[in-house]
Amino acid sequence: LRTCRFKSYLLPPPITSVLPKTHLISEEEWRRLGVQQSLGCVHYMIHKPEPHILLFRQPLPKAHHK
């Protein structure tokens, strides 16, 4: 059963240096950095080898669960 859509966003190197390393960033924080994602997207994981890639998940409407 698929309940989420997963997306990634590659940040430019200068922005990577200002990312917090201790917590996931809120929608307000990533939008302030210029990241554009659909409503409902949540930063859900930090991949330590590649912190410049933000990983997002977005819940699918119940009608789309497969």
User: Among 18, 6, 13, 11, which residue's Cα sits nearest to residue 43?
Assistant: 6
For 42-56, the DSSP string reads EEEE--TT-TTEEEE
Tell me how far apart the alpha carbons of residues 15 and 46 are, in angstroms, rounded to a whole number: 15
Domain residue extents for the chain: 4-60
Q: Tell me phi and psi for residue 12, to 5 degrees.
A: -70, 145
Q: What is the pLDDT of residue 65?
A: 57
pLDDT at 2: 84
Q: How confident is the chain (66 residues) per 10-residue block, as mean pLDDT?
A: 92 88 93 93 94 94 68
- At 66 the pLDDT is 59
Question: For residues 8 and 66, what is the distance between their CA atoms, to the nearest angstrom?
Answer: 21
pTM score, two decimals?
0.84
Residue 29: predicted pLDDT: 94
**CATH-assigned architecture of domain 4-60:** 2-Layer Sandwich (3.30)
